[in-house]
Amino acid sequence: MRNTQSGPVGERAEAEREHRERAGSRRGNYSCALVSFVVTVVVGVLAYPLLVALTRPFTVLATTMLVFALLGILAVTWLALDLLWDWRATHRPAR
């Protein structure tokens, strides 16, 4: 559906609608979440001895710190991928 308003207001509304269509897809959100989870699992498996060594000084809270570290990796990866996805969606040529 085309916007029938003319002038700057109509152009801005049209640009915002296009941005939402291109960047706000569910596929993009699900893809970023899935890739972030896979990256977190791979990093967790490969860096497990290092993570355990870094969390050992927390004694009783070592497992809690390990979980927080893995959640931090997940959050940072997800945010970075989501920003990259949005940037790619808004900077590719229109079809």
pLDDT in tens, 46-91: 999 999 999 999 889 999 999 999 999 999 999 999 999 888 877 7
Residue 2 in any domain: the answer is no
| Domains in the chain, number | 1
pLDDT in tens, 1-46: 555 555 666 777 776 766 666 556 778 888 899 999 999 999 999 9
Residue 60 burial class via C-beta count within 10 angstroms: exposed 0-12, middle 13-18, buried 19 and up: exposed
CB crowding 21-40: b at 16 or more within 10 Å, else e: ebeeeeebeeebeeebeebb
What's the domain range around 63? 25-91
Residue 32 in any domain: the answer is yes
Nearest to 36 by CA among 63, 73, 87, 6: 73
Residue 50 in any domain: the answer is yes
Residues in the chain: 95
| Type of residue found at 50 | L
pTM for the model = 0.68
